[in-house]
Amino acid sequence: MSTSTGTEEELASAAGDVSTLFTRGVVDGFTEASEAFSHELKGTDRIPDLMGRSVAGVIRANARLLDEMANMVRQMSDGFAVRQRAAAADGNVALNSDVDYERLADLVAQRLKAAEATVKSASAKG
């Protein structure tokens, strides 16, 4: 299986560095695929056997690669969920919060009016 481990703490810290987690998953996937292909061809000494086992090795290698990619995606999504829960517990993010769009629009309108007034006063002085 995968060479990576996935405790909640590791997943939470790894979620902060998605590129590292992604790269590690890709490397694990190719390692597993290579090993599956090598195991399929081990002990083959005749050309007809080599051809059949090569095809089986490619199929098995693809299956291992896809399995590792699925594991990596699951670990990344678990890491994001852990990080989101940690942020919510710290008060940084509210889970399932509703956005008050009317209030937001009013705040934006106030800031735009203030910015417009600043520009007009600067134009009048300049």
**Domain boundaries along the sequence of the chain:** 8-96
Residue 113 has pLDDT above 50, yes or no: yes
- 3-state DSSP of 107-124: HHHHHHHHHHHHHHHHHH
Convert the pLDDT of each residue in 62-83 to its tens digit: 888 888 888 888 887 877 777 7
CA 78/CA 21 separation, integer angstroms: 12
91 close to 56: Cβ distance less than 8 angstroms: no
- Token pair, residue 39, equals 């195991």
Convert the pLDDT of each residue in 9-61 to its tens digit: 655 554 457 777 788 888 888 888 888 888 888 877 787 778 888 888 888 88
